[in-house]
Amino acid sequence: MIENFTKMVIPADYPSMVKLHDQYLAEHAVWAQEKFGGKTMVWGHNIHIAKGVITEKMYPKVAGEFLKERVGNQYVAIGSTTTEGKFTAFSENKIAADTIQKNENSSNHMFGQVHYDQFLLDLRKLNGAAQQWVKEKQPFLDGIAVIIPNEPQYYEVSLQEQFDIMVHIQKTTPSHIK
């Protein structure tokens, strides 16, 4: 792991560093599953655990894609959405809270119309209009770790292409890290 971390920080450009980060994350998850058996869970931001690339500009290949290649249909991607609130992320080398930008055309907004504060939705078991809706590309909140000025919080995503299950939490509050 130390050797991988050292290799990861060598590239000068962010996309190359993130690609190595996600490759090593996937390799470590597969190693843990092979070493200890049972099931292994990888927890990360949506953009990292998606089954494919959401934004090639910043993330040319992600852990979910590496895992899908390695373990096939055994990889179950669980994404998360929220409709409103604040989140904690890095900004200018410090921890900061930011507000989720509203996007009334987004899947996040649509999930916010459901009358539950929290819910799970298995995208693999939908049919009819719901199945068609999750196949369509639509704005989707990234789940941001770093606040980058002039970068969008939303990306055009087919939920069913990228995730198997969605967890929705209506309103979030920032973590209280000091």
Q: Within 13 Å, how many C-alpha atoms sit on residue 69's CB side?
A: 11
The pLDDT-based confidence of 6 (bands split at 50, 70, 90) is: low
Closest CA to 50 of 175, 13, 42, 151: 42
Whether residues 61 and 114 share a domain: the answer is no
Domain range for residue 178? 77-178
pLDDT in tens, 90-125: 777 778 788 888 899 999 999 999 999 999 999 999
Whether residues 15 and 101 share a domain: the answer is no
Whether residues 23 and 57 share a domain: the answer is yes
Of the candidates 57, 75, 93, which is a domain's last residue? 75
pLDDT in tens, 145-171: 666 677 778 899 999 999 999 999 999
Closest CA to 108 of 22, 43, 167: 167
pLDDT in tens, 8-17: 667 778 888 8
Whether residues 50 and 113 share a domain: the answer is no
Domain count, the chain: 2
For residue 58, the model assigns a pLDDT of 82
Whether residues 97 and 176 share a domain: the answer is yes
Whether residues 17 and 82 share a domain: the answer is no
Q: Can you tell me the distance from the alpha carbon of 6 to that of 8, in angstroms, rounded to the nearest whole number?
A: 5
Tokens of 123: 């995208």
Tokens of 55: 């934004």
Q: What is the CATH number of the domain that holds 116?
A: 3.40.1660.10
Task: Find out whether 27 and 63 touch, Cβ atoms under 8 Å.
Answer: no
Q: What is the pTM of this model?
A: 0.87
Whether residues 97 and 165 share a domain: the answer is yes
Whether residues 122 and 142 share a domain: the answer is yes
Q: Which amino acid is at 111?
A: F
| pLDDT: which is higher, 100 or 7 | 100
DSSP symbols for 46-102: HHHHSSS-S-TTT-SS-HHHHHHHHHGGG---EEEEEEEEEEEEEETTEEEEEEPPP
Whether residues 12 and 55 share a domain: the answer is yes
- What is the separation, in whole angstroms, between the first and last Cα of the chain? 28
